Chains A and B, each alone.
Chain A
Amino acid sequence: MRGTLAAVAELRARLLVRRLRGKGGLAEGVALGVLFLLAIPLGLLFAAAIGAGSYRAARTGHGLRVDVALAAILFGLWQSWTALSLTLNDRDGLDLRRFLVYPLPPGRVYLLGVLSGIAGDPIGLFWLILLCGVWGGAAVARPGPWLALLAVALLLFALATVFLVALLQELLSSMLRRRRLREVAIGLAFVATGWTLAAAWGGGARSWRNALPALRTVQWAAFPAALTNAAAVRLYGGDGAGALPFLGALAAATAVTGFLAFRLALAAARSAGDVGEVRGGARPGRGMWLGPLRGRFAALVEKEAKYLLRHPLARIYAVIVPGFAALVAWKVEPAIPREAGEVLRALPLFGFAVYTHLVMQIFWLNGLGWERGGARTFYLAPVGLADVLGAKNAALYAFSLVIFLAAGAVSLAVGGRPPAWAIAGALALHAGLAPFLYGLGNVVTVLNPRAAPFAVQRNGSLSWLSGLAGMAILSLACGAFSLPVLLALRLESPWLVPAAWALLGAAGLWAYFRTLPGAGRLMESRRDALLPVVCGDDA
């Protein structure tokens, strides 16, 4: 058995080496190195900040300041870890389905796959450094045996997060395979959204806030953060015995989650992969309503929209982003003092405009990743390749806007209505960033495509190089869009923000349409290199 597992390890290593030595592998290797180089100092920097928070909390011991600080640290870490793991995790080398044929215990293969997802992942490393920062801050503030329990809590937190991500992935892909379950989930999502919007429309923000204590139970859905938080609050308060039940519950929940995720993954790997009928898909005459769009472009947009709506990750984000917005409106926004000013108080809403683009980055950085053989159609059919990219961007923007609007509505309902300029600003920011991100994303899509699996449990939707490029593009765009905020703060003129963002967005849109034909020509010239990768012939 040891020999067989060693063969698996060798296979994974060889696949990695081959990928790095293959076409574009050098750039991938450099990108991976840069990501590690960025992850370590950045992780240390943030770990120092988080460590300072942890230090203060450990010194204080009890009270609201400790509760809020720990909740912010743990829920924040958990959420961003979850969201980014779903995007950038690279475990395709240990796909269970591929290994079923070998005489290996599938549980061990699965565990190896999940754990190597943390160890070989700069993003995972980044979060582990942050967790070390939490522990380090507490250790400096108050040395003692309680730190061993805190270390156990943080370790369980990391494991639980990884397993919960895996379980979410399995559940969502399982939902895709069961039509009735999928429709019930979509129905519930609609009811919840309608309820939220009705509450927001009727000025129900106050009643919502009043109802929140009753909804505290919702936080347990994020059990890695919630249970660790409950244990940590008691540990920081010096109540080690009080923390034990929560640590026990966390360990048990982690084990159960891991086991469930594994069983679902195994069932999926052993299934035929049949997803059944697509609603309305049997009648060729039925299609999406696309307003004034006609002809080939409409067909391209419809195809893209169907792909997005059927993509498990897009569905995950449609749930996660509004959920995160509720959490921020509930936990973070009240912590911003009124004297901080309108601009600073609106930052969470602006943050969601950026965050929506961030989570959707796999689609604008690897737009051709899910086409497989379909990519040949773009070259075979009499369609312009600029139109192909434009249709991808149009469908993605519409989808991203719906998610952002849902997040905004939830944020409004839970946190109260912000001033009109902030709403206008958030919309302008979301719209204004899109042409910059999508325009540059098209170049990355064409230059560095990667065949990506259409399932959440076998990830690897972005190469490291594209991930790094996305980080740079998003940072540059955010840097440019943050300048008007600084100016507005100095001039104390909040309306300057939406006006400047609208202007920047208009400039971006102009540049986007000027450069789109060039992106199409680039796609044409990259045909020979692109098709084998996207169609999976190289995979």
Chain B
Amino acid sequence: MLAIETRGLTRLFDGKPAVEDLGLEVPLGAFYGFLGPNGAGKSTTIKMLTGLLAPTSGAARVLGLDLSRDALAVKSRIGVVPDGLSLFERLSGAEQLRIHGQLYGLDRPTAARRAEELLDALDLTADAGKLVGDYSHGMKKKLALGCALIHGPSLLFLDEPFEGIDAVAVSGIRRMLKDLVGRGAMTIFLTSHVLEVVERLVTHVGIIHRGRLAMQGTLDEVRAAGTLEETFIRAVGEERNGGPGLSWLDPAADRVGTGRA
């Protein structure tokens, strides 16, 4: 059985395709890196797979369940860290974790116990009583990861989990994720721009470009003889460099636009 399987998954915005005819195949227990340049359709795909966005057409099965028919059953078995995060900013970190756990069906004592463990594991115990709105971006990301894990999901969706957080936090999260997949505890579907991090983490890779799946397979199959970065650039093409200009930044230029040089 595949953890994620999509057939012809398409999403149009104002008639223009953001994701087109997507056919993903993510094996159970895989650590799947979903790569693509900005605007390629990565977040749109995750949103469709997690129930945040309705597909225009196509079908998706998640953990063997039809996403359109068994949405609630799918939701209770997956954990998600969406791009914009899904945190209640006027709850404290501890309240957020516990209430989140309860929303996923845990009873209060279990949710509270797991929340304490997660706060400890994510190094957030000292800030557990602060409102989430006052957390730094990195702390919010860690808390969101805690929320995604509290109910023990079988499949974890992470949309740019390393964006905006420091190297120490990245290292901690990376270790935790690798450990979870290594233990056979879950499948992870991750999007990221940081190819070096992805290359060190994932077992499988999919590359999306302009809404279409350019390639997918195991890490070794995809990168073939080269590095992942080389494969990625081959798949999506080089970006045009900025040309000369910005003349007002020259040493002798009129910088404030008063007409005096």
In the complex the two chains form, what is the Cα distance from A344 to B74 in whole Å? Answer: 58
- The verdict on A381 contacting B103 (CB below 8 Å), with A307-B88, A373-B86 known, is yes
Would you call B209 an interface residue if the criterion is a C-beta within 8 Å of the partner chain's C-beta atoms?
no
- Asked whether B115 lies within 8 Å of A284 as measured between CB atoms, the reply is yes
In the complex the two chains form, what is the Cα distance from A157 to B113 in whole Å? Answer: 56
- Asked whether A380 lies within 8 Å of B80 as measured between CB atoms, the reply is yes
**Closest residue of B by beta carbon distance from A302:** B99
Q: Out of A275, A306, A374, A379, name the residue touching B134 (CB < 8 Å).
A: A275
Would you call A535 an interface residue if the criterion is a C-beta within 8 Å of the partner chain's C-beta atoms?
yes
In the complex the two chains form, what is the Cα distance from A278 to B93 in whole Å? Answer: 10
- Asked whether B89 lies within 8 Å of A373 as measured between CB atoms, the reply is yes
- The verdict on A281 contacting B129 (CB below 8 Å), with A274-B134, A376-B52, A381-B75 known, is yes
Would you call A454 an interface residue if the criterion is a C-beta within 8 Å of the partner chain's C-beta atoms?
yes
In the complex the two chains form, what is the Cα distance from A283 to B116 in whole Å? Answer: 8
In the complex the two chains form, what is the Cα distance from A405 to B1 in whole Å? Answer: 59
Chain B 94-138 per-residue mask, 1 if CB under 8 angstroms from chain A, else 0: 110111101111011101110110010000000011110110000
Residue of B84, B93, B115 contacting most chain A CB atoms (<10 Å): B84
Chain A 279-302 per-residue mask, 1 if CB under 8 angstroms from chain B, else 0: 011111101000000011011101
In the complex the two chains form, what is the Cα distance from A61 to B77 in whole Å? Answer: 77
- Asked whether A277 lies within 8 Å of B129 as measured between CB atoms, the reply is yes
- Asked whether B87 lies within 8 Å of A531 as measured between CB atoms, the reply is no
Chain B 44-80 per-residue mask, 1 if CB under 8 angstroms from chain A, else 0: 0000001111100000000000000000110110001
Would you call B92 an interface residue if the criterion is a C-beta within 8 Å of the partner chain's C-beta atoms?
yes
Would you call B7 an interface residue if the criterion is a C-beta within 8 Å of the partner chain's C-beta atoms?
no
CB of B177 to closest CB in A, whole Å: 19
- Asked whether B54 lies within 8 Å of A528 as measured between CB atoms, the reply is yes
Would you call A382 an interface residue if the criterion is a C-beta within 8 Å of the partner chain's C-beta atoms?
yes
The count of residues in chain B whose C-beta lies closer than 8 Å to any C-beta of chain A is 46
Would you call B165 an interface residue if the criterion is a C-beta within 8 Å of the partner chain's C-beta atoms?
no
- Asked whether B52 lies within 8 Å of A284 as measured between CB atoms, the reply is no
Residues on the B chain within 8 Å of A377, using CB: 86-88, 100, 103
- Asked whether B80 lies within 8 Å of A382 as measured between CB atoms, the reply is no
Chain A 362-378 per-residue mask, 1 if CB under 8 angstroms from chain B, else 0: 00000000111111110
- The verdict on A535 contacting B103 (CB below 8 Å), with A281-B95, A306-B91, A373-B89 known, is no
Would you call B90 an interface residue if the criterion is a C-beta within 8 Å of the partner chain's C-beta atoms?
yes
Q: Out of B53, B89, B128, name the residue touching A454 (CB < 8 Å).
A: B89
- Asked whether A372 lies within 8 Å of B53 as measured between CB atoms, the reply is no
- Asked whether A373 lies within 8 Å of B84 as measured between CB atoms, the reply is yes
- Asked whether A374 lies within 8 Å of B89 as measured between CB atoms, the reply is yes
Give residues of chain A (507-535) contacting chain B, Cβ–Cβ below 8 Å.
527-528, 531, 535
Residues on the A chain within 8 Å of B76, using CB: 382
Residues on the B chain within 8 Å of A283, using CB: 94, 112, 128-129
- For the complex, would chain A's binding face be called helix, strand, loop or mixed by DSSP majority? loop
The size bracket of the interface on A is: 35 or more
Residue of B82, B87, B88, B115 contacting most chain A CB atoms (<10 Å): B88
Residues on the B chain within 8 Å of A295, using CB: 102, 105, 107
Would you call B185 an interface residue if the criterion is a C-beta within 8 Å of the partner chain's C-beta atoms?
no
In the complex the two chains form, what is the Cα distance from A283 to B128 in whole Å? Answer: 7
Residues on the B chain within 8 Å of A144, using CB: none
- The verdict on A374 contacting B102 (CB below 8 Å), with A527-B53, A528-B53 known, is no
- Asked whether A303 lies within 8 Å of B84 as measured between CB atoms, the reply is no
Would you call A486 an interface residue if the criterion is a C-beta within 8 Å of the partner chain's C-beta atoms?
no
Residues on the A chain within 8 Å of B119, using CB: 284
- Asked whether B112 lies within 8 Å of A382 as measured between CB atoms, the reply is no
- Asked whether B54 lies within 8 Å of A527 as measured between CB atoms, the reply is yes
Would you call A537 an interface residue if the criterion is a C-beta within 8 Å of the partner chain's C-beta atoms?
yes
In the complex the two chains form, what is the Cα distance from A276 to B104 in whole Å? Answer: 28
Q: A278-B92, A296-B103, A376-B86 are in contact. List 17 more A-B contacts (CB 8 A).
A: A273-B133, A275-B130, A280-B129, A281-B130, A284-B97, A284-B98, A284-B111, A284-B119, A303-B91, A303-B99, A306-B90, A311-B90, A380-B86, A381-B104, A382-B73, A382-B103, A527-B53
16 contacts between A and B (CB under 8 A): A273-B133, A273-B134, A275-B130, A275-B131, A276-B134, A277-B129, A282-B94, A287-B98, A376-B82, A376-B84, A380-B51, A380-B75, A380-B80, A382-B105, A528-B54, A537-B84
Q: Give me the 3 closest cross-chain CB pairs, A-B, nearest first.
A: A281-B92, A282-B129, A299-B102
Residues on B facing A (Cβ under 8 Å): 50-54, 72-73, 75-76, 80, 82, 84-95, 97-100, 102-105, 107-109, 111-113, 115-116, 119, 128-131, 133-134
Residues on A facing B (Cβ under 8 Å): 273-278, 280-285, 287, 295-296, 298-300, 302-303, 306-307, 310-311, 370-377, 379-383, 454, 527-528, 531, 535, 537
